Structure 1
Amino acid sequence: MANEFPQVLTIAGVDSDGSAGAQADLHSFFMRGTYGTLVLTAAVAGNSYGIHDSMVVPLAFIDHQFADLANDLHIRACKTGMLADSAVINCVVKNITQYDFGPLVLDPVISTKHGNMLLETAAFETLKTALIPLATVITPNFYEAEHLTGMTLDSDARIIAAAHQIQAMGAKNVVLKGRHDDSDQDTVRDYVLLASGEAFWLTGPYFATERKNGTGDTLSAVITAELAKGQEVETAVRIAKQFVDTAIKNAIAVGHKFGPINHWANPLTPPAI
C-alpha cells in the first residue's frame, strides 16, 4: 500500500562536504529506519577548514518543494535546520501551517557550538515570534539558548529557568544542550523539559575531538525519525542522545580539520514495514 513506509522531512540547507545540514539529517533518517525527504532552503560551499560561500534558494522554489511533497507523500514528522533569513522563515511557517507534516522538531540554527552567530538579527526575531510557537520539540545548543533568553547560563538554576522561558515562547518540549567546547570537562549535561512539566538531565561523556560537525543536526533528526515512528518525546530524545554520543565517540577520518561524526557507528534500525 502506498506511503506505509515511515517518511520524514528536513527543511534545511546542504553542506558541500556532507558533514552537516541536510546530509547529516538524511544519514540519521536512514540509520533510524525512516525515508528521508528534503525541502532545500540554502546551499553552502565549504569543507573541514570552514565555510567559504553560500546561497539562499528562491522562495517560489521552496513553495514548490512543499507542494510536491504534500501532493504525493505522507510525511509523519519534520524538522528544520538552516533557514538563512526572515523571508525564508516566513515561507517555511506559511507552508508548515498549510500542510500537515506531523510534529515539528526545531533545530534553531542561530549560532555555532562555539557561540558564533549564524542568523541575522531580523531573522532571529522572526524565528522567535513565528516559528518557535509551532515547535513540538526545540533543540537549542548552549549559546543559542543564551541568545534566545538573554541569560548567561552559568548555573543549573539558570539553565532550568532558560528552558522554561523558551517553553513559554511556545515550544512544547525543550532539549537544551549543554556546552561541549571545554577540553577540561569530563561530561556533557543536557536539560530536557517536557510539555507535561516533567524534566530531567541527560548526561553523557565529553569527547575531546574536532570531529563533531553535524551533532545538532543529527540529534534533532533522530528525534524526528523516532516521533515519526510513534515514539513518545522522552523516548525519542533518549535514543537521539545515545545515537549522537556513539557517533562522536567512534570518529571517522574524513577531512583534515573539523570533520563529521560517524553515523555508521550506530546499528542500522530496520524500518517497521
Structure 2
Amino acid sequence: MKHVLSIAGTDPSGGAGAAADCKTFCAHGCFALNVITAVVSQNTQGVRGYMNVTPELIASQIDAVFEDINVDAVKIGMVSVPATIGVIADKLKQYKPPVVVLDPVMVATSGQRLLVPEAEQTLRDILLPLADVLTPNLPEAEVLTRRPIRSFADMEAAARRIFDMGAKAVLVKGGHRMEDATDILYDGRGFHYFKGKRVESNSTHGTGCSLSSAIAANLANGMSLSEAVGAAKKYVFEGIYHAELIGKGHGPIHHFYQLYKRAGLE
C-alpha cells in the first residue's frame, strides 16, 4: 500500500480540502496522511472564514509524518499566506518526496479568496518550481499567467507559460468552460487533451481537490502521468454522476462509488 500525504485546509462538511483528499487516497487503495494548513469554516454553500495554522506547527506536522512514515506522493492544496508557502517549500526540499502535485487553490467556488494577493508571487517563485504536476483551473491559470483564457489555444499557451515558471508538468483544467470539460496537459514535450462530458449536477464541491488527489494517488501507484490524469478525470466524472444529494448548495462527489458498487451498496 502506498502512502500519500495531503497538505491542505479543512472542510467540516467533508467535501473538499483535506477531507476530500484523504477520501480520494483511500478510494485508490492508498494510505492517507494529512497535514493541516488552515482551519476553514465552510459547507456546500460557501466559505465563511478561515484561520491559518502557524508555520511552526505546519513544519512540526510535516516532520512528524516524514520522520515516521515513508511518503510516496504529496498533494498540496490550500496555502494562503507567504509564510505557509515558505515552510512547505523548505520541507519539500528537505525530504524530497518522489511526487508532488500542487493544486493552486486561490478562490473558492463561492468567490471567497483563499490565497492572499501578496502570496501569489511567493507561490510562483518558491512552490511552483517544486511541483511535478500543477493543476490550475481556468481562473487560477489566468491569475498565474496574468492573461485571459478564452480558447484551447489560450489554454495551451497558459500551460506552456506555467511550465516555463518551473513546474515539470501542467494540467490546465477546462471545467469552467461552458461548452465542454476538456483538460489540457503539457509535459514539456507535447500537449495531451482529455475530453470530458459536462454533467448537469450541483454535486461539484471539491472536484478540484479530488482530481489532483487522484492524480497523486495514481502516480504513487505507478501509473504514467497521462494514465494518471485520464484515470483521475474518469474517477471525478463518476463521482459527480453518482453523487448523493448532500447539503443545500453544491454538494460533494461520491468518492467511494466504485467501492460501494463492488459491495453491492449502489
* Distance (whole Å) between structure 2 residues aligned to residue 153 and residue 267 of structure 1: 37
Equivalence for 2:119: 123
Q: Which has the higher contact order (CA 8 A, sep 6+)?
A: 1
Percent identity, aligned pairs only, is 36
Of 160-169 and 256-265, more deviation after overlay is shown by 256-265
Could you tell me which residue of structure 2 aligns to residue 66 of structure 1?
A: 62
CA contact (8 A) 1:10 1:37 kept: yes
Check the 8 A contact 1:75/1:101 in 2, yes or no.
Answer: yes
Task: Report the counterpart of residue 166 of structure 1 in structure 2.
Answer: 162
* Shift of residue 90, structure 1, vs aligned partner: 0.4
Distance in 2, Cα, partners of 1:7 & 1:144: 28
1:211 matched to 2:203? The reply is yes
Tell me which amino acid in the other structure corresponds to 1:103: V
What is the CA-CA distance between 1:116 and the residue it aligns to? 5.7
Residue 39 of structure 1 is matched in structure 2 by 35
User: Which stretch of structure 1 is more off in the superposition, 23-32 or 98-107?
Assistant: 98-107
Aligned to 1:91: 87
1:29 to 9, 25, 28: 25
Amino acid at match of 2:191: A
- Superimposed CA distance per residue, residues 179-233 of structure 1 (whole angstroms, 9 cap, x where no aligned partner): 4364xx3x311111124x1212111111122210110000110111111112111
What are the equivalent positions in structure 2 for 1:9-28 lying under 5 Å apart?
Answer: 9-28=5-24
2:183: which partner in 1?
190
Q: Structure 1 CA distance, aligned partners of 2:252 and 2:177? A: 16
Pairwise mapping of residues 97-136 of structure 1 onto structure 2 (< 5 A)?
A: 97-113=93-109, 117-136=113-132
Aligned residues: 262
Contact 1:113/1:179 (<8 A) preserved:
no
After TM superposition, the runs of 4+ consecutive aligned structure 1 residues lying more than 4 A away are 113-116
Tell me the residue number matched to 2:247. Answer: 255
Give 5+ residue unaligned stretches, structure 1: none
**Do the aligned partners of 2:46 and 2:109 also contact (CA within 8 Å) in 1?**
no
Counterparts of 1:39 and 1:117, CA distance in 2 = 21
In 1, distance between residues paired with 2:134 and 2:140? 11
What is the RMSD of the two structures over their aligned residues, measured on CA atoms?
1.8
Letter paired with 1:123: A
Question: What TM-score results when the alignment is normalised by the length of structure 2?
Answer: 0.93
CA distance in 2, matches of 1:231, 1:55: 36
- How many angstroms does 1:121 deviate by? 1.2
